[in-house]
Amino acid sequence: MRATLLQDDGTITVDEVPVPDLSEPTDALVRVTHSAVCGSDLHLLHGFARRPGGRRMGHEAVGVVEAVGADVVSVAVGDVVIVPFSWSDGTCSFCREGTTTSCVRGGDFLMAPSALQAELARVPEADGTLVVVPADVEEEMMPSLLTLADVYLTGHHAVVAGGAGPGSTVVVIGDGAVGLSTVLAARHRGAERIVLLGRHADRTDLGVEFGATDVVPGRGDDAVDAVREITRGEGAHVVVDAVGELATYATALDTVRPGGVVSRVGVPRYDDAPLGLAPVFRRNVTVTGGVAPVRAYVDEVLPRVLDGTIRPGRVFDRELPLSEAAEAYRLMDSREALKVLLRP
């Protein structure tokens, strides 16, 4: 079968690889119908965690179950399923508490040999991991379902962890697909004012359609001043860092109000960061967020996608066949595309 590989020299190729098999009785084999390129794939492209001989890429997918192991009971051959970016058994302490990304039998397609920009995928812990969707779902719904594998529910996680809801002012730093998903999730959960910090008008325009009430260009001191003005000098209840740089964390601290929350869903590209008396402790600022436990949220959000209440699939502005994965990465990396859907 064909799969996307990141080669040692940093090029993206689509090559023949061995067909995966059911190596555990809890596995399922899924024929991928829709996959995607994510910002975290670009981190790999730029040299993080390369693997000699090439590494498999992709961690977002929707597909059809092709085979199931002997112990699998909740999905059957032919089911249309969402494959969240990490697998989880659904039964361990952490899964029961909603932190499925820390499942004791879990793992991450981002770092796994069985990654999802491919024709077929082996999915471990199929009962805990896969989410069955109605078989008669229309094709135009598929991009939105695909966002439930990662990007929309990452934004949703930012909003839930941050405790945003009716009456909240939410600042979202970053106008990539995660930032825009955060805007949509904040609106869906009833936030009163949603301020999007972003530099790309075509993206922030979609942010406004998703529910941003204010757009502030950039992320620096001017942006901080603008947020302060919008919030009558008080700062926002929740600031979502959808970028992950030390500078965006600093902007978050500068724009959050006393008693407010900085919610991080951009993977931090720093180890230490300010947590001291003046910017955080004296002001009772909470720092939360993390790798989104997508699986814990799907059951709640899926009905709202299926009934058309939210259309998170609008973050996909390009679609390419799997064979053109290299072009998909180029479009994402150059920011010509917001998010690219790949069809195996």
Name the site residues for a second copy (rule: CB under 8 A).
93-94, 97-99, 101-102, 161, 234, 249, 257-259, 264, 267-268, 270-277, 280-291, 293
- Least distance in Å: CB of 215 to a second copy? 24
Measured from the CB of residue 62, what is the shortest distance to a second copy in angstroms? Answer: 25
Q: Which is nearer to a second copy, 4 or 169 (CB)?
A: 169
CB crowding 129-159: b at 16 or more within 10 Å, else e: bbbebeeeeeeebbbbbbbbbbbbbbbbbbb
Q: Are 327 and 318 in contact (CB under 8 A)?
A: no
Find the shortest distance in angstroms from Cβ 336 to a second copy. 28
User: Which of 188, 257 has the CB closer to a second copy?
Assistant: 257
Element (H or E) spanning 254, and its range? helix 246-255
CB of 161 vs a second copy, minimal distance in Å: 7
Strand 61-68 with 120-123, pairing: unpaired
Q: In angstroms, what is the minimal distance from the CB of 50 to a second copy?
A: 17
Cβ-based nearer residue to a second copy, 233 or 308: 233
Parallel, antiparallel, or unpaired for β 28-36 and 256-264? unpaired
Judge whether 172 and 242 are in contact, CB under 8 Å.
yes
Nearer to a second copy, 26 or 88 (CB): 88
Amino acid at 34: H
Q: How far is the CB of 282 from a second copy (least distance, A)?
A: 6
Q: Select from 30, 31, 57 the least CA-distant residue to 43.
A: 57
Strand partners, 318: 340
Whole-angstrom distance, CA of residue 296 vs CA of residue 90: 9
Number of residues that this document lists for the chain: 344
Of 274 and 321, nearer to a second copy (C-beta) is: 274
